[in-house]
Amino acid sequence: MRLTAFQDGFSAALLGHAPLAPWVSALEAQPGFAVYRNTVLKGCIDALQASYPTVCQLVGEDWFRAAAAAHVCAQPPRDGLLMEYGAAFAGFLAGFAPAAGLPYLPAVARLDRCWTECHLAADATAVGRAWLARQAPATLPLARLRPHPAARWAWCDEHPAYALWRSHREGLALPGSLDWSGDGALLTRPHAQVTWHPLPRAGVAFLNACAKSQTLEAAATQALAADPAADFAALMGTLLDAGALIPTMPAQAKESP
């Protein structure tokens, strides 16, 4: 048999498709076939459980693994980097009927995904408050900063996803009087480990603008448009202390003829 034909038949059977040929049925009938099927499914589910620990804590391991199995069938991994697998899991949960009673679950899943991306992203040296102190007031508005490659941020309009996520990640009891309104999160990796901070709506708008290479003045305008009452100086302090920003290429490059 050609290797391609064998791999077409074997992989289809592993993924639970109806056998294409008698030789596939014969392999499936051997007790050893289940070892491969179980190993493949377990490998994918284990990867999702490792990447979505907060979701798993919220729903319990049995529920999580059943949901993960459904996701694996819908969107199996595309390559061997299982630590990156599951980018679409939050979207999957949003449409997963058994999760309908937990409407905040996709937003919590997105924060788990932010953690994974932050953990695996490239290294870079962030700018701190000293950078800000060195800037001339006249040119500061035209300066540009980029989000650190490891910085991730998210905003949830309907649910306190960050408060829920954080309390589970830190093993804290939920605040007794949890204000059930939207919130935002910033995840950064200023040194070796991933850290997290609350992020106001203005901060989300500011980072979105920086990610589009806008000037600090334009980014500040966006931030204040998102929340006219925002304390911009405090926000800059939060972002700089968290290591959320890095310098862009030297601005002079654009001005040279």
Partner 1 sequence: MALPTAGLGLKPQHYDEALRCTAPGLWWEVHPENYLADGGPRLAWLEAIRARHPVALHGVSLSLAADAPPDAAHLARLAALARRVEPVLVSEHLAWSTWRGQYLPDLLPFPRTHAALHRIAGNIARTQDVLQRPIAIENPTHYLHIDGHDWAETGFLAELVRRTGCGLLLDVNNVHVSANNLGFSAQAYLDAFPLHAVAEIHLAGHHADPVLGNALLIDSHDAPIAPAVWALYEQVIARTGPVPTLIERDDHLPAFSELLAERDQAHRALTAAQPEEAACG
Question: Do the strands 183-188 and 195-198 form a parallel or antiparallel pair, or are they unpaired?
Answer: antiparallel
Site string for partner 1, 66-85 (x = CB under 8 A): ----------xxxxxxxx--
By the rule CB under 8 A, 218 interacts with partner 1: no
In the list 24, 44, 145, 236, the residue contacting partner 1 (rule: CB under 8 A) is 44
By the rule CB under 8 A, 228 interacts with partner 1: no
**Type and span of the H or E element at 227:** none
- Within a 10 A sphere around the Cβ of 116, how many other Cβ atoms? 20
Place of tokens 């106001």: 200
By the rule CB under 8 A, 35 interacts with partner 1: yes
Q: Cα dist. 195→125, 153, 160 in Å?
A: 16, 12, 18
Closest CA to 165 of 123, 231, 110, 84: 110
User: In whole angstroms, how close is the CB of 139 to partner 1 at the nearest point?
Assistant: 31
In the list 16, 18, 22, 31, the residue contacting partner 1 (rule: CB under 8 A) is 31
User: In whole angstroms, how close is the CB of 89 to partner 1 at the nearest point?
Assistant: 16
Site string for partner 1, 177-216 (x = CB under 8 A): ------------x--xx-----------------------
Helices then strands, each counted (H, E), the chain: 13, 5
Quick one: which segment of 10-18, 96-104, 138-146, 153-161 binds partner 1 (CB under 8 A)? 10-18
In the list 23, 63, 131, 232, the residue contacting partner 1 (rule: CB under 8 A) is 23
Residue 140 CB-half CA count within 13 A: 10
By the rule CB under 8 A, 22 interacts with partner 1: no
Of 62 and 79, the one with the shorter C-beta distance to partner 1 is 79
- Facing residues of 186 across strands? 153, 197
**Type and span of the H or E element at 136:** none
- Facing residues of 197 across strands? 186
In the list 17, 43, 74, 172, the residue contacting partner 1 (rule: CB under 8 A) is 43
In the list 18, 122, 173, 253, the residue contacting partner 1 (rule: CB under 8 A) is 122
The identity of residue 143, as a single letter, is A
C-alpha 231/C-alpha 223 separation (Å) is 10
Of 119 and 201, the one with the shorter C-beta distance to partner 1 is 119
By the rule CB under 8 A, 100 interacts with partner 1: no
- Within a 10 A sphere around the Cβ of 96, how many other Cβ atoms? 17
Instruction: Enumerate binding residues for partner 1 (CB under 8 A).
Output: 1-4, 6-8, 10-11, 14-15, 23, 27, 30-33, 35-36, 39-40, 43-44, 47, 76-83, 119-124, 149-150, 189, 192-193
